[in-house]
Structure 1
């Protein structure tokens, strides 16, 4: 019993910090002074500075800087014809010069060079992901006989994967079953995980989210997973993931849950069936393979996975099903 107040305090603190991070994301084009954010959190500036650094592992100034630059890097990689100055102003920099200096310090190249290199960079990421996927699905004897090869025939890898008939291979665009759909807005309650994606998120779902969902009587409701950060840009320990459950409009979220609304609109929806090891590759195929050749671009709405009620999950094999939902608009 003595631990309950402490646990409840940590949960309320987590809610407040999550709300602050969401507020920052919605207002990156504004000044976001420490004093005003501290007032929003009902802390003195001195204490807020320490609390934020303890929670995120970096100062508020460092967090704002890398968050703005990460968002700008995603914007610059899109085919939308925005100038570097427009991107700089959108993420809160006062001039293209200051933006270019900060961008080069973080990514090692200028914003213009990053934009020009994006198609090649995406192609490299896709090729590496396909190579790793081929290795995972190659028979052990073939794997041992090819360890010394640095270049692999991806077409052969696709054929090998298709022959397995496991439903978990995503080495070519044609196997992803992508459709454009108009999705409705959805109100969700969510719990947030901050840290590396992958296995830790899976454990978060199993050990924290599903027991909470059951206790709230929401077992038959659809679930969603929102990855707020691009793991190719953000540090693993700073990646934010929201595990969400659909709720009614009058649902009252109590600690540790919070409420948000998933915006509706046009999405590219890819059907996924596979293991956790296949999951990252499927997203890479969608973002780095399908998207550049689709004539569309991603917009500012959240990217998420959708788990319909009764979605398949085999605890023995780890195979599960969901939909990968990418918000898109015409280029």
Structure 2
């Protein structure tokens, strides 16, 4: 590694430390001086350094991140009071939260909770920044048994997957099948969102079950199986928005050099936790690429 590469890597690491600190302390006051200390940057220059790397000023970034997490809680924790969500995501009171939310998304938090418009939400919410370079992927080959699942098929824009996910969560809660605390949660990805007509894009959301479920339900949840066999697997910690790029790296870099061939089943994911529960840098997801015997 050259001196220039070392300096760049160190700089990126310091910015990443700030992002992770913000992510983990959203409910606390986040002042520029304290953030500059996390990065070991001069407080006189930190605002410009952060803006140059991330593309928006730190104050705006913090507000949008708070609104991002609040949106997930509104959609996926319908029993939680809006005031509690506001306080947990760093707003001093519900009025300031409602003003900020409506200014960005054009609807109140209550209106969003009743009818989330995820496509409009995505148009206003910038993608989570990706500063840290991925380390060499630690890929393992495992052999798995069949996994019986209850499955809900999403077809349409990738930006509306959260609507389908919310419906699946509601089915899990109301039916009592595949309780999320005891049963694993999966995503099955037959289509690449970057190489597919948005209206033809498919993604399957699934939960582990111990027995077949009744399929005559209003949610459209059906029985299915993730077939057992050999898989290449790699663990990712961080935003789900990085998963597509990691999958592409598996296909582009690892597969040609491995000598392996692919089985006739799509790439799939095992989600260990969820965006409405933990900070995005704490999300843990296992990626599985099915291989021939």
Q: Distance in 2 between matches of 1:327 and 1:168?
A: 30
Aligned with 1:326 (options 283, 289, 292): 289
User: Equivalent residue for 1:210?
Assistant: 169
Is 2:143 the counterpart of 1:179? Answer: no
Q: Where in structure 2 are the equivalents of 1:305-324 lying within 5 Å?
A: 305-308=269-272, 311=273, 313=275, 315=277, 317-319=279-281, 320-324=283-287
The structure-2 alpha-carbon separation of the partners of 1:141 and 1:237, relative to structure 1 and needing over 3 Å to count, comes to same
Is 2:154 the counterpart of 1:193? Answer: yes
Q: Give, in angstroms, the shift of residue 246 of structure 1.
A: 0.9
Deviations 1:95-145 (A, max 9, x none): xxxxxxxxxxxxxxxxxxxxxxxxxxxxxxxxxxxxxxx9x979543567x
Q: Distance in 2 between matches of 1:168 and 1:315?
A: 23
Give secondary structure in 2 for the equivalent of 1:284.
helix
Q: Where in structure 2 are the equivalents of 1:279-290 lying within 5 Å?
A: 279-290=243-254
**Is the contact between residue 151 and residue 222 of structure 2 (CA under 8 Å) also seen in structure 1?**
yes
Q: TM-score, normalised by structure 1?
A: 0.45
State how many pairs are aligned. Answer: 169
Deviations 1:280-305 (A, max 9, x none): 22222222222222221222123210
Q: Give, in angstroms, the shift of residue 313 of structure 1.
A: 4.4
RMSD: 3.0
Q: Where in structure 2 are the equivalents of 1:81-120 lying within 5 Å?
A: none
User: Equivalent residue for 1:294?
Assistant: 258
Deviations 1:149-193 (A, max 9, x none): xxxxxxxxxxxxxxxxx9995635x1x321100011011111111
Q: Distance in 1 between matches of 2:250 and 2:204?
A: 20
**Is the contact between residue 306 and residue 322 of structure 1 (CA under 8 Å) also seen in structure 2?**
yes
Give secondary structure in 2 for the equivalent of 1:254.
coil
The structure-2 alpha-carbon separation of the partners of 1:179 and 1:322, relative to structure 1 and needing over 3 Å to count, comes to same
Aligned with 2:206 (options 240, 244, 262): 244
Unaligned ranges ≥5, structure 1? 1-133, 145-165
Deviations 1:258-283 (A, max 9, x none): 11111100000110111132222222
**Is the contact between residue 190 and residue 259 of structure 1 (CA under 8 Å) also seen in structure 2?**
yes
The structure-2 alpha-carbon separation of the partners of 1:285 and 1:234, relative to structure 1 and needing over 3 Å to count, comes to same
User: Equivalent residue for 2:232?
Assistant: 268
User: Equivalent residue for 2:221?
Assistant: 257
Q: Distance in 2 between matches of 1:284 and 1:170?
A: 15
The structure-2 alpha-carbon separation of the partners of 1:181 and 1:251, relative to structure 1 and needing over 3 Å to count, comes to same
**Is the contact between residue 155 and residue 199 of structure 2 (CA under 8 Å) also seen in structure 1?**
yes
User: Equivalent residue for 1:105?
Assistant: none
Q: TM-score, normalised by structure 2?
A: 0.50
**Is the contact between residue 168 and residue 221 of structure 2 (CA under 8 Å) also seen in structure 1?**
no
The structure-2 alpha-carbon separation of the partners of 1:231 and 1:141, relative to structure 1 and needing over 3 Å to count, comes to closer
**Is the contact between residue 144 and residue 228 of structure 2 (CA under 8 Å) also seen in structure 1?**
yes
Give secondary structure in 1 for the equivalent of 2:292.
strand
User: Equivalent residue for 1:304?
Assistant: 268
**Is the contact between residue 212 and residue 223 of structure 2 (CA under 8 Å) also seen in structure 1?**
no
The structure-2 alpha-carbon separation of the partners of 1:214 and 1:233, relative to structure 1 and needing over 3 Å to count, comes to same
Give secondary structure in 2 for the equivalent of 1:289.
helix
Unaligned ranges ≥5, structure 2? 1-11, 17-48, 56-128
Q: Give, in angstroms, the shift of residue 228 of structure 1.
A: 1.7
The structure-2 alpha-carbon separation of the partners of 1:278 and 1:230, relative to structure 1 and needing over 3 Å to count, comes to closer
